[in-house]
Amino acid sequence: MLMLGATKKRGPPKGYIDTLSDKLGRLEIVITRLAKLPNASGILDSIRTQDAITAGIVDSILDKQLHDAVPTSAVNPTQRRRLNSLQSLQLDVKPQIEELEDSSDEVTDSLGQLSIDENSNIRYHGKASGLHLITNNKRHEQGIWNFPAPGIWPASHELKKLTQKEVVRLSGAKQCLPDIQVQDKLIELYFSYVHPVIPIIHKGWFMTNFKAPENDERADELLPTLLLLCVFGVASRYSAVNNPESPALWAAGTLYIERAREIAHLDHPNSRLSSVQAFLLLTYRSVGLGDMKSAWMFLGHSVRMAEDLGLHRDVSHFHPNGKLRLSDVQVEARKRTWHGCVILDTYISSYIGRPTAIRAKDYDTRGCKEDEIEESEAWQPVEAHVTCSRDVCDLSDQDYPFNWAIPQTGHALSCFNQLSKLSALENKILESCYSIKEKTNSEAAQMSLHELHKSVDKWSIDLPRHLKFQASSQRLPPPNVLTLHTAFHCTLILLHRPFVDIPSHYPSHQIMTMAANSITSIVNSLNHRHDFLNKAPSLLIYHVFTAGITHCFNLKYPDIEPVARQNLTKTMEALKAMVITWPAAGRAYDMLTDVYDIQQNQSLDEITDNGPRGIKRMMMESTEQQANMGINFSDVFPCPTEPLLPQVPTRHPGVSTLNNELSDITSEGPFTGSYYMGMQQPTMLPGHNLASSAFYNITPKLWNKLLHFSSFPQTGISLQQMVMFGSNPSQGTLLRAGNFLSEELPIRLAHRCVELNTLPNNLSQMPSIQRVLGWYAHSFDELINFPPPQLSAEVRNQLFAQSNKIGKLPEAKPNLAQLEDEHTPGPVNPIQNNGSKNRRIPIEYRYHAETPNYEWPIEVGEYNENFTRLLEGIKKRHDTVVPTIAQGVLEYKKHRQHIGRGVDTDIQSFLDRFYMSRIGIRFLIGQHIALNSINQPKDYVGIICKSTNVRDVCDEAIDNARFIAEDHYALFKPPQVQLICPEDLTISYVPGHLNHIVFEIIKNSLRAVIERFGVDAEDQMPPIKVIVAAGNEDITIKISDEGGGIPRSAIPLIWTYMYTTMEGKGLDPEFEQSGSDYKAPMAGLGYGLPLSRLYARYFGGDLRLISMEGYGTDVYIHLNRLSSSAEPLQ
């Protein structure tokens, strides 16, 4: 079943041959499709002239005439062996044909779809135009259309087109240009404060042409005056202010913009790359001035002109010959300009609430190259030394002081790429959540929320390390990086704001509030630590305004109103600091001030809404309130719950991050004080490590609750109690069970949280361990904050009519999760009467309690439904706990430079306890969810099948294991598995547990046999035998293979975690981004056997192994007949 030694390898090294074959296959397809074009001869002749080898390849392909066939090089070597033995070549190769043809479509896509005008400007025409179907036209040459402007084609003597030089002369732009010294300072300001945020201009190209001789007749073609004026107009906003105290709108740079608009008006029929860039700068400036009408129009011009030039298409698809050959600088300028359109389009559409003009599916432009000089340039604020008014800029020694003297790497291009990706996600959010016909209260909207949240989450995880922001750092990153992070938090607000008042799996109000707090914290740092907001990007305004709107929204909730008011004040201070440079901030300030004043004058007595559930843990109801509710659960259900102080979540509960590297998390631990919604940063508990979780921040108050609950032992539940529910339990019975779980599950989760935080040898500090700790703490917090049902006195009496027969719990119960001998051989549940720790638990516990026949009110059903939905969310959150813990142990071994297989004894003991507890928690949750389902299968009570057919379960496990082996080893026929089992043999069991155990053992046996005999000996592989026998106490399943066996010295190791005979394996590198869709590998984690034994022992069974080295292995699975067992489970 398991074997030692290196895995056999066949064939050439991976990479070299496959890559070469793949390229040849793609080349064949491309040449074949080119040959079908009407003008193919000219194109192919130009390719042949490159060199003799290329000409030979082209001629060879054409000679073979592979128009309808697939090149053999397109099939990978592993598949070729299988395909040769089958008669299904066409079926298996068809997907590869489609893939290669799709890639060739990208290369030939632009043929017949590009044109040039009389000025050699490129124009793009999509396939909807139909031009690609009539390329046998005199105006089409070498794949390019020739479309001059009207007046030239068709010719006209009455239409005269202005040249760029004439346009500039008529606009009077040259007369308003400042002295060359002032121009130098304005350009320096532009590349210091504007360019790092939207680097749409290639700096090297701009500076080279700016310094070109003035008498050059082509000066306006090299560096268009329109673009230069827009640069000056935006940069003027960062010059020194003559009277910073004046309340009047500062009109610096207005004359430059007026002349630029005049040029744009005279030259509007012509699409030029520089014109698109100019319109984007006009948009950027208009946003800052609050002129959103002009910004909307400028952006519309930009996008239409950019699409006219084909900026939305990947230039690598364009024809490589003739006058359309683009330089590297031109290619980069095109990409930057288009992504600038994407960013500003999403930004403005969000700002004023309108549909976007660009859809993600309509462009394929690649990201900017990040090896340009602008990426590695040091960034540092520069002094203006120039003062601008409406009409003129002059040199000056005056400047507003700032406190930012340390140069930093700007990372302008990588930040720009990430902002474009985030904008594409925000575009999807606007389409899914804010479209007119989209309804946020639908099931489709909930699914969309889930997918979009995962996408935004993945973006934050994939963010390059140099762009991550640690709030505890004494040095803030450059403004472009901070703007990227405010954009991220603003995106979270936009995503979750529509779902604040709608029940969903995400705590949208908490996420929205924390995102707003993060934006406020960032701008507050810019304002007070560096006094820099007067130089801030104009894009920051909407982010800050959105945060302010969120704070205003939270003012109506008394429990968080003081904190919201404090954060709103900081937000308004930040806006006020930006007013001179960007008057739009003043407009936002005035709007928030009106709301602030209204809310301040409103009496708290008029506010009755306590806010959405989860924003705060309310004080426990008073005795009078409980009497009105008709129930006091503490009387009948003794619970470790005590009144909690008002508590506000201090973390994005649903936003997963990795290694505490997101913008609002420090690498050392929890948030800084500014991230605690106005509360003080918690101090470390004495003797306690306050671990910061990548999912959920654990505050001192929450840790106190965890410690309090962990002081109570967990309670065992027998299978007999579970079966007593029957297939159709009443709502009252389910309510009793639900309340038991609402108390029992927090106890179990608290035990695990405390243990996860106190693991030896710094294992608890590993990022993945803290991630799991966050999941458990999050689930604990949700359970203890879940509100009790509001029931009348009559319903309460009916519900607890049988309570006197049950009585209260004994004062001490053994805590099975803390048994010290769980990892020792033998069943986990032998309870011995030799001490308080191992005393037997009375079965007269309150998990199942009979309730009378009664017509339960709708409130009972609603409570059961809501609690079940909560459990479903918790169960899904914990889906990947096992591989995440495995990842944490791998991190621990790497951290300690651990050599060898397996883990230390103390960690082995912890993993046994943890995974056994996880099995119990998921069993309880799954059972309750199933009991609340409408239609339960026959013979099922929850997830327990009273008559589980052992043969059927084994058949299913065998089929699944053989499928995995076939897929992993690319086999046509994996080893046979012979099953000998009575057809009518049944047992009361959880079929999923049994399936998991059998599947893991069969999978290992298949691997051992295949690797012993080799993948080429499919017909010689001996079968694996599965024999099932029924006894009085146990049902035993014996699985025998001839996979070579295991050395006697290695037998003890196979029960340890992380021990595997699969060399070089581990978790998939994409595991962190895959969430619950993670696919289990064939082998390599070393968890299969230990976990299978825990599953068997959970129900009082066992798993044993006997191996004969050189022959094979026998595994015995013992299943305890539990149908009438009153023995408590863990």
By annotation, the residues acting in catalysis are 996, 1000, 1003-1004
- Exposed, middle or buried: residue 439 (CB in 10 Å: 0-12, 13-18, 19+)? exposed
Q: Where are the beta strands (DSSP E) in 572-626?
A: none
* DSSP class per residue in 960-1013: HHHHHHHHHHT-SSPPPEEEE--TT-EEEE-HHHHHHHHHHHHHHHHHHHHHHH
Report DSSP state, residue 61. H
Decide if 442 contacts 500 (C-beta within 8 A). Answer: no
How far, in Å, CA of 995 to CA of 979, rounded? 14
Query: β-pairing, 144-146 with 114-116?
Result: parallel
The tokens 């559930």 sit on which residue? 613
Query: β-pairing, 408-409 with 378-379?
Result: antiparallel
Give the angle 1070-1073-1076 at the CA atoms, nearest 5°.
Answer: 105
Closest CA to 233 of 265, 280, 271: 280
How far, in Å, CA of 289 to CA of 285, rounded? 6
How far, in Å, CA of 260 to CA of 264, rounded? 6
Whole-number Cα distances in Å, 974 to 50, 467, 666, 696, 959: 50, 48, 51, 45, 11
Query: β-pairing, 1024-1030 with 977-980?
Result: parallel
Closest CA to 862 of 795, 778, 921, 927: 795
Decide if 1109 contacts 1025 (C-beta within 8 A). Answer: no
Query: β-pairing, 977-980 with 940-941?
Result: unpaired
The encoded tokens of residue 513 equal: 């509030």
Closest CA to 345 of 317, 304, 376: 304
**995: number of Cβ within 10 Å:** 18
The full length of the chain comes to: 1130
In sequence order, the 6+-apart residues with CB closer than 8 A to the CB of 90 are none
Closest CA to 289 of 301, 277, 298: 298
- Exposed, middle or buried: residue 338 (CB in 10 Å: 0-12, 13-18, 19+)? buried
Query: β-pairing, 944-949 with 986-989?
Result: antiparallel
Sequence letter at residue 901: R
Cis peptide before 991 (omega within 30 of 0): no
- Exposed, middle or buried: residue 17 (CB in 10 Å: 0-12, 13-18, 19+)? middle
- Exposed, middle or buried: residue 327 (CB in 10 Å: 0-12, 13-18, 19+)? exposed
Cα-based torsion angle of the residue sequence 148, 152, 153, 159 in order, rounded to the nearest 10 degrees: 120
Decide if 929 contacts 973 (C-beta within 8 A). Answer: no
How far, in Å, CA of 514 to CA of 1047, rounded? 56
Closest CA to 809 of 886, 722, 744: 744
Q: What residues are paired with 1024 via a beta bridge?
A: 977
Question: What share of residues in the chain are helix, strand, coil (percent, to 5)?
Answer: 50, 5, 40
Report DSSP state, residue 388. E
395: part of which helix (H) or strand (E)? strand 393-395
